[in-house]
Chain A
Amino acid sequence: MTPWGRPELYTAYKQDMALLNTRSKMLGVAAILVVAALMPLMVADDLLIILGNGLVLAIGALGLNLVTGYAGQVSLGHAFFVGVGAYTAAVMAGDPDGRYLGLGIDFMPAWLLGAGLVAAACGALVAPLATRLRGLYLAVVTLGLVFIGQYFFFEWNEMSGGSQVGREAAKPELLGIEFTVDNGFKGGWTEEQKLYWLFLAILVVAAVAARNIARSRIGRAFAAIRDRDVAAGVMGVNLTRYKVIAFTLSSFYAGVAGSLMFSAFGHFTPESFSLLMSVQFIAIVLIGGVATVSGTIMGAMLIALLPRLASELPAFLPFLSDSATEHPNIFEFEQVAYGVLIVAFLLFEPRGLFGVWHRVRTYWKSFPFSY
């Protein structure tokens, strides 16, 4: 037993390996969780939608961070896997007698897992490419996936509803709780509150799983491959195997995120799964912090809040307009901000938001010294 108040005195490996190995980490995480869980009681519903969307983005971005951040395999095809997940869920939960393809499985865990698994299967199919290609070439090939995917989504009308039309998203419903039904006027929870809690719960599971993957044997193999695949191979890491695992896991996360992404809006079109969505995920990973779980979540929240932040700007910057017909307007600003954020983070803080946090933490942790 460690004597009280000596956090660095490790008397067992278990203690050394623990996720929350210090008291301050434990308290910090607990505090964040409490605040996150109480958020729906404190925040207006319109902002809650945005936060909820951020949570779903975080789930998807965790997947991209596993393959790109941890395993170092650049993927521009994340939008494709998200799309596969969204359509799988929609098809599984869809009405068998409706206009579009539907299986009528409205048990949420089933379509959630189904979306993940089908996307994972697609990922596993694509993965062998990654074992032969590296860097820019892999990026180009995965870019191709997005276009192949869009072709299917546009053309397969029975499944997707077709271009500009789209279809209904899967409705989350569990143990008699209909998450997409608004009970606010009856004194119950509103749709936004319930969805937020659902997304939060799933994100917590996903994040803990990702963190555990990252510090397991698989995670160490990923890191070895990222740092130099040839060296990793020489050390006995089975490259094919771990690259396949990386893509499969990543696609699973993407699929799950896809199945939840349109729950709040209820409807989606194939146009959503464009290159822009892939870039958005890459931005989250780069801005949040490559190969970090907490950074990914921070990045996702920032990207999700960006439009809202931009819309608040005209109050402070009078030359910005909130009308799309005038220039410069907030929509243009939002686009530019994306780019500027990515460039600025890559140049000045390559470790992303996590790096900023890390800097702050080190400053106080090393106090009153500097190292």
Chain B
Amino acid sequence: MSTRTVVTRIRDRARSAPKGVAMREKRLGIWHEITWADYWDAVLDVGHALLALGVRPGDRVSVQSENRPEWLFLDIATVAVRAITVGLYPTNPTAETAYLLSHSGACLHLAEDQEQVDKALGVEDVPDLRRIVYVEPRGLAPYDDPRLMTWDRLLEMGREHRAANPGAVEALVDAAEPGDVMTLVYTSGTTGPPKGAMLTIGNAEFALETVLERSPFARPAPGPHDLTLSYLPLCHVAERVLTTWYNAGAGTQVNFAESIETVPQNLREVQPTLFFAVPRIWEKLLATARIKLDSATWAKRRYAAFWLRRADRLGARLAANGGRHTAGTRLAYAVGWVLFYRALRDRLGLRRVRHASSGAAPIAPEVLQFFMGIGVPMHELYGMTENTAIATANRPGRVRLGTVGEIHDGTEVRLDDTTGEILTRHPAVFAGYWQDPDATARTISEDGWLHTGDVGEWVDGTHLRITDRMKDIIITAGGKNVAPSEIENALKASPFVKEAVVIGDGRKFLTALIGIELDTVGAWAQQRRLAFTTYRDLAEKPEVRALVQGIVDEVNSRHNPVEQVKHFRMLPKELDHEDGELTATQKVKRSAIDAMFHDLVEDMYAGGREGAA
């Protein structure tokens, strides 16, 4: 009996439902469908091509591309021939690409287009890298590096090899063992260089069995009738689980968004039934909805305001009741659905969502409550790369806002007695960091407990609440412990605030650097006939400062004096991955921010009067 893997799951689907839709990709306005039979055929072709190119079990194959079917084909084919997939963010700058390629020792690299090929070719000193495959040939005709080859050529090579060696890939698929490393997921690394977490076939299987079979995250359990939208980077563990593994495990139909910018449009077209987003996306969706409602005609505005007030109340009632409807809220919502919420959800692309979730970073409860109020069943989840995203989850009907939910069946989670650090132990805990035994030893204790680095506490003994990242906890000069992320999220819950970085470690009081959301503040300024040119110009307008001051004051009023932000400064630019201020997952790198905006910070503590609270 061979091991069940993500690959065999796809093979079995290709046999049982060959004409079922596995994924859709939008090209020139049309969503082209790929069936399970097409999928499996492509995996075999690519798998044979990998064999023809000399990829052996345990070799690394890297991918740097936006989400597209080829990502999945290559990923699955790599696992099929028992090699290891390494995902790179398309936004990784050349230096990071170089680090990841040489650290992982990839022998074959998929670079989506000219931009990514340029990055890969700019990397020197990678003797193991034998082939660079590209999918989009535009602009690449003049390139003559011998390592380059097109995706079509790869497929052709695979077909030739398949004809000559039938069954070679299938034999390797059957030989797979649970201990095989199937992928390296490089953590984003808010501190220090990224580390490659090794996830095994056993990890993936345990994760899938947990969320799909042992304690299904949605009822009825996800299946072939569910649609998902794939738009977060596939090299991140969350999107890999949601796109590649759920697709294989539950047969959900994956729809690839054209790009991150077109997500709102694609959402409206696809109307997914299962939707996961990071807090940044939820905040953006909320901000967009608010702007659009505010800029509607008078009658529509008043009408929407009426129903949103009701949604607020509904959201609060639902949140108090674990996300379950009472007879009263069900009736109130049914009326609202006919008259307003249906249309609003349709326009947001959330009309058919039956399970929505947020994870990968902390989110303000206000945001969750808004969506619950308009009828989107929101669930906050918690997990990390090192435990294959399996730790805790809010279950349908047992939601508790402000917590990340309950322990999954068959897994263990506990808090460290002294530090309060969250520890998890289950078969989906990773096999260690690639070529970094020291870091591995620091993260996994001898008896198998994974140190997550997050501090948490139990609420009512069942739900876990996360205080903050352990190393982010601010200890003020007065010796008080403050969790900055809670304050930052409260600030970011405003549609006008995009970034908030609370500072104060070893200082007398807290301060913050605040970045505005260009779209919303821009629209706000336009309504007030406030002329502006650039982001910086807008951010430094006195009116905008006053606007932000109001938000800060409002947040301060909800906190005790130690947790109040005394001064703030506007960030003069939008934070960016390429400039090293954000990680690839859009998390703020505090060290980089400290270094880059050192003057602003010092100015606040030097008693600058501007912006005093």
Could you tell me if A368 and B24 are in contact, using CB atoms closer than 8 angstroms?
no
Residues in chain B near residue A11, CB distance under 8 A: 24, 30-33
Q: How far is the CB of A157 from chain B (nearest CB, A)?
A: 61
Asked whether A13 is an interface residue with its Cβ less than 8 Å from the other chain, the reply is yes
Q: Does A370 contact B (CB under 8 A)?
A: yes
Binds B, one of A2-10, A203-211, A250-258, A349-357: A2-10
Knowing A3-B253, A8-B268, say if A370 contacts B31 (CB, 8 Å). no
A73-111 contacts to B, CB under 8 A, are none
Q: Does any Cβ of A come within 8 Å of B296's Cβ? A: yes
Is A265 located at the chain interface by the 8 A CB criterion?
A: no
Give the most central of A11, A368, A370: most B CB within 10 Å: A368
B352 at the interface (CB under 8 A from A): yes
Q: Is A368 in contact with B271, judged by CB distance below 8 angstroms?
A: no
Give the chain B neighbours of A9 by CB distance below 8 A.
24, 31, 269-271
Q: Is B343 touching A367 in the complex (CB atoms < 8 A)?
A: yes
Asked if B269 and A368 make an inter-chain contact with CB atoms under 8 angstroms apart, the answer reads no
**Measuring CB to CB, which residues of chain B are less than 8 angstroms from any residue of chain A?**
21, 24, 29-33, 225, 227, 253, 268-271, 292-293, 295-297, 300, 303-304, 307, 340, 343-344, 347, 352
In the complex, given contacts A9-B269, A368-B343, A371-B292, what are 20 additional A-B residue pairs having Cβ atoms less than 8 angstroms apart? A3-B225, A3-B227, A5-B271, A5-B352, A6-B271, A6-B352, A9-B31, A10-B30, A10-B31, A11-B24, A16-B30, A366-B347, A367-B343, A367-B347, A368-B296, A368-B300, A368-B344, A369-B296, A369-B300, A369-B347
Evaluate contact between A370 and B24: CB separation under 8 angstroms: no
Q: Is A41 an interface residue (CB 8 A)?
A: no
Contact assessment for A367 and B31 in the assembled complex, using a CB-CB cutoff below 8 Å: no
Expressed in whole angstroms, the minimum distance between the Cβ of B495 and any Cβ of chain A is 15
Which of B225, B253, B296, B307 has a CB less than 8 Å from the CB of A370?
B296
Residues of B within 8 A of A368 (CB): 293, 296, 300, 303-304, 307, 340, 343-344, 347
Given that A8-B269, A9-B269, A16-B29 are contacting pairs, would A367 and B352 also be in contact in the complex, using a CB cutoff of 8 Å? no
Q: Which residues of A contact B225 (CB under 8 A)?
A: 3
Decide if A12 is an interface residue (CB 8 Å cutoff). Answer: yes
Could you give, for residues 1-43 of chain A, a 1 whenever the CB lies within 8 Å of some chain B CB and a 0 otherwise?
A: 1010110111111001000000000000000000000000000
Which chain A residues lie closer than 8 Å to B303 at the CB level?
A: 368
Shortest distance from the beta carbon of B550 to any chain A beta carbon, whole Å: 26
CA distance A8 to B296 in the complex (A): 23
B30 (CB) vs chain A CBs: closest residue = A10
Q: Are B227 and A369 closer than 8 Å at their CB atoms? A: no
- A10, A13, A370, A371 — most chain B CB neighbours (10 Å): A370
Instruction: Report chain B residues within 8 Å CB of A3.
Output: 225, 227, 253
Q: Is the CB of B30 within 8 A of A370?
A: no
In angstroms, how far is the closest chain A Cβ from the Cβ of B375?
Answer: 14
With a CB–CB cut-off of 8 A, which chain A residues contact B352? 5-6
> Is B295 a contact of A370 with CB atoms below 8 Å?
yes
Q: With A and B bound together, what is the CA distance between A12 and B31 in angstroms?
A: 7
Provide the residues of chain A in CB contact with B297, threshold 8 Å: 370
A6 partner residues in chain B, CB cutoff 8 A: 269-271, 352
Given A5, A10, A12, A369, which contacts B292 in the complex, CB threshold below 8 Å? Answer: A369
Nearest 5 A/B pairs, CB to CB: A370-B296, A369-B292, A8-B269, A9-B269, A368-B304
A295 to B: closest C-beta gap in Å: 24
Chain B residue with the shortest CB-CB distance to A367 = B343
Query: Chain B residue with minimal CB distance to A8?
Result: B269
Q: Chain B residues with Cβ under 8 A from A16's Cβ?
A: 29-30
Q: How far is the CA of A369 from the CA of B349 in the complex (A)?
A: 13
Q: Would you give the shortest CB distance from B158 to chain A, in whole angstroms?
A: 27
Q: How far is the CB of B45 from chain A (nearest CB, A)?
A: 24
Give the Cβ gap from A3 to chain B, nearest Cβ, in Å.
Answer: 6
A367, B30: Cβ atoms under 8 Å? no
Which residues from chain A contact B304 at a C-beta distance below 8 Å? 368
Of chain B, the residue at the smallest CB distance from A6 is B271
Q: Chain A residues near B269 (CB, 8 Å)?
A: 6, 8-10
Chain B residue, CB-CB nearest to A13: B30
13 interchain pairs (CB within 8 A)?
A1-B21, A3-B225, A5-B271, A8-B268, A9-B270, A10-B30, A11-B32, A16-B30, A367-B347, A368-B300, A368-B307, A368-B340, A369-B292
Complex-state Cα separation, A5 to B352, whole angstroms: 9
User: Using Cβ atoms and an 8 Å threshold, which residues of chain B touch A10?
Assistant: 29-31, 269
Bound CA–CA A369/B297 (angstroms): 8
A258 to B268, CA, bound (A): 48
In the bound complex, CA of A366 to CA of B343 (Å): 9
Q: Would you call B300 and A370 a contact (CB within 8 A)?
A: yes
Q: Please measure, in the bound complex, the distance between the C-alpha atom of A184 and the C-alpha atom of B296, giving whole angstroms.
A: 55
- Please, which residues of chain B bring their CB within 8 A of the CB of A1? 21
Chain A residues contacting B300 (CB-CB under 8 Å) are 367-370
**Alpha-carbon separation in the docked complex, A367 to B347 (Å):** 8
> Once the chains are docked, how many angstroms separate the CA of A15 from the CA of B30?
9
Check A370–B271 contact: CB distance below 8 A: no
Closest residue of chain A to B24, judged by CB? A11
A1, A9, A16, A371 pick with most chain B CB within 10 angstroms: A9
Query: Measured between alpha carbons, how far is A16 from B28 in the docked complex, in Å?
Result: 11
Nearest Cβ on chain B to A10's Cβ, whole angstroms = 5
- On chain A, the residues within 8 Å of B295 by CB distance are 370-371
Give chain A residues whose Cβ lies under 8 Å from the Cβ of B227. Answer: 3
- For the complex, give the distance between the alpha carbons of A3 and B224 in Å: 11
A370 to B301, CA, bound (A): 9
Q: Chain A contacts of B271 at CB under 8 A? A: 5-6, 9
State whether A370 and B29 are in contact (beta carbons under 8 Å apart), knowing that A3-B227, A6-B270, A11-B24 are contacts in the complex. no
Interface residues of A in 340-367 (CB under 8 A from B): 366-367
Q: Provide the bound-state CA to CA distance between A6 and B292, in Å.
A: 22
| Complexed CA–CA distance, A13 and B33 (Å) | 13
Minimum CB–CB distance for A18 against chain B, Å: 13
Complex formed: what's the CA distance from A6 to B296 in Å?
25
B25: shortest Cβ distance to chain A, in Å?
11
Query: Closest residue to B289 on the A side, CB-wise?
Result: A369
B30 to chain A, nearest CB (A): 5
Question: How many angstroms between the C-alpha atoms of A368 and B306 in the bound complex?
Answer: 12
Of A3, A5, A12, A371, the most chain B CB neighbours within 10 A belong to A3
Residue of B nearest to A10 (CB): B30
- Residue of A whose beta carbon sits closest to that of B253: A3
Residue of B225, B271, B293, B303 with highest tally of chain A CB at under 10 A: B271
CA distance A371 to B523 in the complex (A): 14
Residues of chain B with a CB closer than 8 A to A8's CB: 268-269
Q: How far is the CA of A370 from the CA of B292 in the complex (A)?
A: 7
- Say how far A195's CB is from chain B's closest CB, in angstroms: 44
Q: Closest Cβ of chain B: how far from A368's Cβ, in Å?
A: 5
Give chain A residues whose Cβ lies under 8 Å from the Cβ of B343: 367-368
Give the residue name and chain of the A residue nearest to B340 (CB).
A368
* Bound CA–CA A346/B292 (angstroms): 31
Which residues of A have CB within 8 Å of B31?
Answer: 9-11
* Minimum CB distance partner of B292 in chain A: A369
- Are A369 and B30 also in contact (CB < 8 A) when A5-B271, A6-B269 are? no
Residues of chain A lying within 8 A (CB to CB) of residue B268 = 8
- Measured CB to CB, the closest approach of chain B to A126, in angstroms, equals 40
Asked if A12 and B347 make an inter-chain contact with CB atoms under 8 angstroms apart, the answer reads no
* Given A6-B270, A369-B347, A12 contacting B296 (CB threshold 8 A): no
Chain B residue contacts of A370, Cβ below 8 A: 292, 295-297, 300
Q: Which residue of A lies closest to B31 (CB)?
A: A11
Q: How far is the CB of A9 from chain B (nearest CB, A)?
A: 5
A272 to B100, CA, bound (A): 84
Interchain CA distance A11-B30 in the complex, whole Å: 5
Tell me, rounded to whole Å, the shortest Cβ–Cβ distance linking A14 to chain B.
10
CA of A370 to CA of B302, assembled, Å: 13
A369–B269 Cα distance when bound, in Å, is: 17
- Shortest Cβ gap from B561 to chain A (Å): 41
Q: Give A5 Cβ to nearest chain B Cβ, in Å.
A: 7
Give the distance in Å from the alpha carbon of A369 to the alpha carbon of B304 in the complex. 9
A39 to B295, CA, bound (A): 42
Q: Which residue of A lies closest to B297 (CB)?
A: A370
CB distance from A17 to the nearest CB of B (A): 11
Q: Which residue of chain A is the closest to B265 with respect to CB atoms?
A: A8
